[in-house]
Chain A
Amino acid sequence: MAECHPVGFQWVMEAKKRGATIIHVDPRFTRTSAVADVHVPLRAGSDIAFLGGLIRHVLDNDLWFRDYVIAYTNAPMILREDFRDTEDLDGLFSGFHEDTRHYDPSSWQYEGADVAAAAGQRDQWSTMTADEQIGSRGEKARRASDTDRGEQAGSGGSPFHGTPERDDTLQHPRCVFQVLKRHFARYTPDKVADICGISEAQFLQVADALTSNSGRERTSAFVYAVGWTHHTVGVQYIRSAAILQLLLGNIGRPGGGIMALRGHASIQGSTDIPTLFNILPGYLPMPHAHEHLDLESYISADAGTKGYWGNMDAYAISLLKSWWGDAATAETGYCFDYLPRLTSGHSNYDTVLKQVEGGSEGYFVVGENPAVGTANAKMNRMGLANLKWLVVRDLQMIESATFWQNSPEIESGELRTRDIGTEVFFLPAAAHTEKDGSFTNTQRMLQWHHKAVDPAGDQRSELWFYYHLGRIIRDKLAGSTDPRDRPLLDLTWDYPTTTSPGRPDIAEPDAEAVLAEINGTGPDGPLSSYTELKADGSTRCGCWIYCGAYADGTNQPARRKPGSEQSWVAPEWGWAWPANRRILYNRASADPDGKPWSDRKAYVWWDSEHERWTGHDVPDFQPTKSPTYRPAADAQREDAIGGNEAFIMQADGRAWLHVPAGLTDGPLPAHYEPAESPVPNMLYGQQANPARQVYPHRLNRLSPSGREPGAEIFPYVFTTYRLTEHHTAGGMSRWLPYLSELQPEFFCEVSPALAAERALTHLGWATIITPRGVIEARVLVTERMRPIRVGGRTLHQIGLPYHWGANGLSTGDSANELLPITLDPNVHIQPTKAASCDIRPGRRPTGAARNALVAEYQRRAGITDETGTTAVTGHPGDSRSNGKAGS
C-alpha cells in the first residue's frame, strides 16, 4: 500500500500513531513492510491457506463475535442433505461436471429455499439450459402448480422462494456454522506454516493480534489490491477475508471492512458504469440468450423477492427509459429487445484468442496498452496483427499502436510489417486537465474534475469521440428501415455541446448533462435517490446506484467543502454511491436492537425518541424502519427485510459465510495451488481450481505443476507488481522524465541465495523463461526477497515489475510476455501473482533464437497444448457421483 497507494497509506500511519498494529502480508519486503509492526513473507499464491488457518483459529478457540454472527450472517442456515464438501471429495464440492469443467450449484442451496445472488453470477440460473433448470429447481417445481412449472423452468422463475430452515443454536450438523468448522478443520497452524512458508509462531502472532483487536470495542480492517484478485481463485481469496471479517464482526462498522485498493483513477466507476461485457450500469446483468426471453422473465430470473434487488424492475426499466426515451413504453416492453444477448465467451481473453484465429475485424483500444500490458503479451500482439482495423486512443504513442513497426515478432522475423493487414487509426486523447468529468475512487466516491485548459491539435476527450462517432453513425443510418438499426436511431443521443473561446472548432458535449442523465429524472425533475425509481416508465435513470449524484440539479461530485470544516466522515466532499453512504451495510454497526455495539464504535443507531436511524453517516437502512419491525409473510422487496436484518441487498437479509448461489467455483474457499506451481497441494488431491478457465493453444502453453514430470524445468515462482514510480503498462509514466529517471529500466528482484544458485550478479542481466516467452531484466540482488521452506524444500521467488515496453523514455521487456491466460471462472481474470519460471544469467537471445529457446524449454519439460489443463486431479471417489445425482 505504501508503494502503490502512498497517499492513502498516510491513514494507516495515522492509525499506527494511535496504537494500531499494522500487519503486512506480502511475499516481498516493501516500503509497507518497512513501517509495519509485522511482515509475513508468505509464499505467493498461498493466501487462502493463510486466511483459512485464521478462520479455523477463530472457530476452534471460540473467538467469533457470537451476537453479530447469529443475527447478521447465514451461520444458522441449514444446507441441503446432498451437499458435499471438499472434505468428502478430496478437494471438490458436490455438483462438479468434469466434462464441462463447471459446477451445478443446486446442492449448495439452503434447505427449503433457493436464493438469488446479490453479486457475482446473478444470471446463474438463467444461463443454464431449460433442462438443467428444471433439475436444479426441483423443489420449486414440486411446489409449483402444473401450469406454472413449464414457465418457471423456461424463464428461471423467481430466484428466492420458501423460507430457509435455520438453527440459531448453531448445533445442527448441516447448519452453515458446523459446515464451516468441518471445512476448515484441516487448516491447522502447522499445515498453514508448511504451505505458506512461514513459521507457526508468526501465524499465531497474526491470529492473536487480529482477534484481540476485534469485537464490540474494537475493529480490524483488511486492505487488499490485485495481489488478492489476480489468481485463478481470486474471488475466493476475497471470500476468505469476508468469512473471517464476518466471524469477527468487522463488516459495516467503523475501522472494519475489506477495502479494495483499486489501481486506476476511475476503475471503480468503470465497473459501476461498466465498459464490461457481462453487466449493464448498476450491476444489472446483460441478458443471456434464451428462448422467449422478455423483460419480465429477465427480471424474474434475477430479482429477489426480498431485499433491494427486488426493485430490479424499477432499476432496469428506468435504464431502458434513459436510453430509448419515448420509444421505451410498456407496449414495446421498454425496448428490452434492443439489448444484444450474450451466449458465452465474450471476455477480454476470449476476444484475444478470437483475434489470433482471425475471427474479429475491429478493435477500439482506449487508454489501454494490451501489447505489453496484458497477460501473454505476445498473444495480444498476434491478435492486433490479425485485425481489419484498430482504433487506438491515448496520450502517447504506445506499443499497442506501433506493434506493426517494432514488436518482438517483427524483430524475430515471425511477422513482417508489409504482411500485417491491420489498418491503424491513432487518435490523440485529451488529458484530465482538458475536460470536465467525474472519477469514482476506490471507496465509491465520485469527485468532479474541472477542465483547466483546452486540448491541443486533434486531442479530444472520449466524451467528444463517442458522442460524435455515435452522431455520425446515426446520420449515416438515418432513414434505415432495417430493424437492427432501430436501437441506434431511437437512442437518446442529443447532448448539448459547448465550445471554448480558444477552440471554437471543438463541439464538446456537456459532461454535466451526461451526469444528469446518469442520475435520472422523474416527473418533477432530477431524482434524489434510487428509492424514487419506478417500474411504470415514469422515471429515467442511467445508473440506479448513482441516482442522487445530481440531486436538486446540483453537481454533487463537485462538492468541495474542506475536510477541516466538516466531520471526520466528510460527507460534504464529493458524493459516494449509494445515497452518499460512506460505509456500506452500516446498519451492522448497531446491534439487532439498534444500539451501537459499543460507545467506542458507535456509527449509526436507532433514535427511539425520534423513531429514526441516525448517526455519523447516511444509514444504510430505511430511515424510519424500527429494529422491532417484522415483515408480514407476504411482504416483498425492502418491506421483507426485518428491522434486525442488516444486509439489505441480500435475498435473505444476511451476509453470507457460505454462498448458496452466485459463485462458479464453490460455496466456500478452498486452498488450491496456482494454475502453475512447482508445489503440490498439501491439503487436497485436487491440485488447482478445478473450474478455472483454460485456453489450450500453441501460444499459451502451461508448465507442469506439483509432482508432474517436467515441473522441475520451471522450479521458481515469480510474482509481478507495480513500482511507486510507474503506472500500469507505462502509458502514463514511461514518457515522463521525472518518473523515468527514478526508475529507468526493467529489473528483477532475487535473493542472494538464488543469485548464488544461478550465478546472477547484481546489476548484471538475467534471462527469465516460461512456456509463453523469454525476457531479460537487470538483476537486483536483495534481501527483500528471501528463500522460503515449503513442504520440506527450499523455494525461491522472483519479483518482476511489469511496466515496460519498447517505447518511451524508460524501456525494457514486458513481464507480461511470461504470464499465461488461464482465468478465475467467476470474473475471467488472469493470474499475474504466482506462476513458475526458470532464470539464468545473461541476456536473452534475439531474432529467431528467442522463440527457439522457449521451444527448447517446452521440449525439455514435455509440454503440449494440454499440459496443465486437467480439471480433476484428486480422487473424489464414489461420492462425486452422489454430487452429480443431486443436480
Chain B
Amino acid sequence: MGVRTWIEGWPAYRQMTTNDPLGRGTAVKSDGSRALAPRTVSADRVVKSVCPFCAVGCGQNIYVGDERVTQIEGDPDSPVSRGRLCPKGSASTQLVTSPSRVQTVRYRRPGGSEWEDLELGTAMDMIADRVIETRRRTWQDTDENGVVLRRTLGFASLGGATLDNEENYLMKKLYTALGAVEIENQARI
C-alpha cells in the first residue's frame, strides 16, 4: 500500500478533499459499506399495493425477493401519497413478515384449558356444521303475528373494515342467503 493510498484511506482526509465536508456521504464509505445495496435493488419484482392501515389509501410498492416480501415502500406515482408513508405504513413489512403471525389453525374445545391442533379442512367442516345446526335451531319463519321474518338470530358476525370490497361482498351475500341479519362492522364502532 502506497502512502497516497494510505492517506486516502482516511475518511477525515476524504472529508476535507472531496465535497463531503460533514462526512455523511461518500467520504465515510468503507469497502464494506460500498458493497451494500438496498433490498429494493435486488428484488425479483415490485408489486403495486395499497397501505392496509388508515383510509387515506397511500400507494405501496411491495418488493419481493425469493418469494418473500423483503421491503415495502411508498409509491411515488400515487397522487394521494406521492411516495410517503407514515410510521405505521412504513412498518408494513413487519406487519406481513411478523414471526408471531399465526400459521396454523388453533382450536379450543368447550371448557378446554389449552389450544389444540386442527386440520384446516376439518375446521371448515366443523364450522359449516355449527352454522347449519345453529341456523336450524334458531330459525324464525314468522313472528307471533304471522309476519314473515325468514331469518336466524342465532349467530352474528363482526368485521370487515380492513377487508377487501370483494370479501365484504361475499360475506354479506352468504350471510343474507343464510338468513343471518346480525352482521356488523368496524364502521359501527
Q: CA A462 – CA B132 in complex, angstroms?
A: 20
Interface contact A7-B84, CB-CB below 8 Å: yes
Q: CA A432 – CA B47 in complex, angstroms?
A: 12
Chain B residue at minimum C-beta to C-beta distance from A731: B162
Interface contact B174-A340, CB-CB below 8 Å: no
What does the 1/0 interface line of A515-547 toward B look like (CB < 8 Å)?
101100000000000000000000000110010
Interface contact A289-B148, CB-CB below 8 Å: yes
Interface contact A365-B128, CB-CB below 8 Å: no
Interface contact A739-B159, CB-CB below 8 Å: no
Interface contact A724-B87, CB-CB below 8 Å: yes
Q: What are 9 residue pairs bridging A and B, where the CB atoms are less than 8 Å apart in the complex?
A: A263-B55, A266-B161, A338-B177, A346-B153, A360-B182, A365-B157, A394-B102, A448-B50, A463-B164
Q: CA A254 – CA B56 in complex, angstroms?
A: 19
> Which residues of B have CB within 8 Å of A286?
181
What does the 1/0 interface line of B155-189 toward A look like (CB < 8 Å)?
11111111111111111111111111111111111
| A276-B187 in contact given A420-B111, A428-B105 (Cβ < 8 Å) | yes
Determine whether A23 belongs to the interface, using a CB cutoff of 8 Å to chain B. no
Determine whether B106 belongs to the interface, using a CB cutoff of 8 Å to chain A. yes
| A7-B162 in contact given A351-B184, A441-B80 (Cβ < 8 Å) | no
Nearest CB in chain B: distance from A7 CB, A:
5
Interface contact B98-A736, CB-CB below 8 Å: yes
Beyond A275-B160, A453-B68, A574-B57, 9 extra complex contacts between A and B, CB < 8 Å: A362-B131, A363-B157, A368-B159, A422-B110, A431-B95, A484-B141, A488-B177, A488-B178, A739-B88
Which of A270, A280, A348, A458 has the most chain B CB atoms closer than 10 A to its own CB? A270
> Which residues of A have CB within 8 Å of B68?
453
Determine whether A425 belongs to the interface, using a CB cutoff of 8 Å to chain B. yes
> Which residues of A have CB within 8 Å of B69?
433, 452-453
Contact of A368 among B64, B177, B186 (CB under 8 A): B186
> Which residues of A have CB within 8 Å of B85?
7
Nearest CB in chain A: distance from B35 CB, A:
26
Determine whether A759 belongs to the interface, using a CB cutoff of 8 Å to chain B. no
Nearest CB in chain B: distance from A811 CB, A:
13
Chain B, interface size category, equals 35 or more
Determine whether B101 belongs to the interface, using a CB cutoff of 8 Å to chain A. yes
Determine whether A35 belongs to the interface, using a CB cutoff of 8 Å to chain B. no
Interface contact B134-A388, CB-CB below 8 Å: yes
Interface contact A364-B130, CB-CB below 8 Å: no
Q: CA A426 – CA B103 in complex, angstroms?
A: 10
Interface contact B176-A266, CB-CB below 8 Å: no
> Which residues of A have CB within 8 Å of B45?
452
| A275-B147 in contact given A7-B84, A427-B105, A450-B48 (Cβ < 8 Å) | no
Nearest CB in chain B: distance from A383 CB, A:
10
Interface contact A291-B166, CB-CB below 8 Å: no
> Which residues of A have CB within 8 Å of B177?
323, 338, 470, 487-488, 491
Determine whether A457 belongs to the interface, using a CB cutoff of 8 Å to chain B. yes
> Which residues of B have CB within 8 Å of A101?
none
Determine whether A239 belongs to the interface, using a CB cutoff of 8 Å to chain B. no
Interface contact A395-B165, CB-CB below 8 Å: no
Chain A residue at minimum C-beta to C-beta distance from B49: A449
Interface contact B55-A361, CB-CB below 8 Å: no
B132-155 contacts to A (CB < 8 Å): 132, 134, 137-139, 141, 143, 145, 147-155
B82-119 contacts to A (CB < 8 Å): 82, 84-91, 94-96, 98, 100-113, 115, 118
Determine whether B7 belongs to the interface, using a CB cutoff of 8 Å to chain A. no
Chain B residue at minimum C-beta to C-beta distance from A558: B48
Determine whether B120 belongs to the interface, using a CB cutoff of 8 Å to chain A. yes
Determine whether B16 belongs to the interface, using a CB cutoff of 8 Å to chain A. no
Interface contact A267-B105, CB-CB below 8 Å: no
Determine whether A616 belongs to the interface, using a CB cutoff of 8 Å to chain B. no
| A441-B57 in contact given A273-B169, A274-B172, A428-B102 (Cβ < 8 Å) | yes
Determine whether A94 belongs to the interface, using a CB cutoff of 8 Å to chain B. no
> Which residues of A have CB within 8 Å of B81?
7, 10
> Which residues of A have CB within 8 Å of B109?
423
What does the 1/0 interface line of B62-89 toward A look like (CB < 8 Å)?
1010011100100011111110111111
| A425-B165 in contact given A5-B56, A360-B153 (Cβ < 8 Å) | no
Nearest CB in chain A: distance from B25 CB, A:
26
Q: CA A457 – CA B120 in complex, angstroms?
A: 10
What does the 1/0 interface line of A57-81 toward B look like (CB < 8 Å)?
0000000000000000000000000
Determine whether B27 belongs to the interface, using a CB cutoff of 8 Å to chain A. no
Q: CA A422 – CA B113 in complex, angstroms?
A: 11
Nearest CB in chain A: distance from B73 CB, A:
13
Interface contact A276-B184, CB-CB below 8 Å: yes
Nearest CB in chain B: distance from A422 CB, A:
7
| A476-B128 in contact given A396-B98, A450-B48 (Cβ < 8 Å) | yes
A218-244 contacts to B (CB < 8 Å): none
Q: How many residues on the A side are at the interface (Cβ–Cβ under 8 A)? A: 164
Determine whether A514 belongs to the interface, using a CB cutoff of 8 Å to chain B. yes
Interface contact A542-B169, CB-CB below 8 Å: yes
A-B pairs with CB below 8 Å: how many? 475
Determine whether A563 belongs to the interface, using a CB cutoff of 8 Å to chain B. yes
Interface contact A735-B187, CB-CB below 8 Å: no
| A360-B167 in contact given A428-B103, A431-B95 (Cβ < 8 Å) | no
Determine whether B12 belongs to the interface, using a CB cutoff of 8 Å to chain A. no
Nearest CB in chain A: distance from B139 CB, A:
6
Interface contact A340-B184, CB-CB below 8 Å: no
Q: CA A343 – CA B153 in complex, angstroms?
A: 11
Which of B106, B113, B138, B139 has the most chain A CB atoms closer than 10 A to its own CB? B106
Nearest CB in chain A: distance from B101 CB, A:
5
Q: CA A433 – CA B73 in complex, angstroms?
A: 13
Q: CA A546 – CA B72 in complex, angstroms?
A: 29
> Which residues of B have CB within 8 Å of A423?
108-110, 130
Chain A residue at minimum C-beta to C-beta distance from B151: A340
**Segment touching B, from A120-128, A174-182, A827-835:** A827-835
Contact of A264 among B48, B106, B162 (CB under 8 A): B162
Q: CA A4 – CA B145 in complex, angstroms?
A: 50
Determine whether A737 belongs to the interface, using a CB cutoff of 8 Å to chain B. yes
Contact of B187 among A267, A469, A739 (CB under 8 A): A267
Chain A residue at minimum C-beta to C-beta distance from B103: A457
Interface contact B143-A449, CB-CB below 8 Å: no
Determine whether A647 belongs to the interface, using a CB cutoff of 8 Å to chain B. no
Determine whether A8 belongs to the interface, using a CB cutoff of 8 Å to chain B. yes
Interface contact A275-B159, CB-CB below 8 Å: yes
A413-466 contacts to B (CB < 8 Å): 417-428, 431-443, 445-454, 456-463, 465-466
| A396-B102 in contact given A7-B84, A267-B55, A421-B110 (Cβ < 8 Å) | yes
Q: CA A372 – CA B178 in complex, angstroms?
A: 29
Interface contact B123-A427, CB-CB below 8 Å: yes
Interface contact B108-A424, CB-CB below 8 Å: yes
Which of B126, B160, B178, B179 has the most chain A CB atoms closer than 10 A to its own CB? B160
Nearest CB in chain A: distance from B28 CB, A:
26
Determine whether B31 belongs to the interface, using a CB cutoff of 8 Å to chain A. no
Chain A residue at minimum C-beta to C-beta distance from B58: A7
> Which residues of B have CB within 8 Å of A272?
165
Chain A residue at minimum C-beta to C-beta distance from B119: A458
Chain B residue at minimum C-beta to C-beta distance from A517: B169
Q: CA A452 – CA B149 in complex, angstroms?
A: 44
Interface contact B87-A738, CB-CB below 8 Å: yes
Interface contact B165-A266, CB-CB below 8 Å: yes
Interface contact A466-B127, CB-CB below 8 Å: no
Interface contact A447-B188, CB-CB below 8 Å: no
A710-729 contacts to B (CB < 8 Å): 724-728
Q: CA A328 – CA B44 in complex, angstroms?
A: 48
Interface contact B54-A265, CB-CB below 8 Å: yes
Nearest CB in chain A: distance from B13 CB, A:
37
> Which residues of B have CB within 8 Å of A558?
48
Interface contact A502-B100, CB-CB below 8 Å: no
> Which residues of A have CB within 8 Å of B101?
395-396, 428, 431, 456, 459, 735
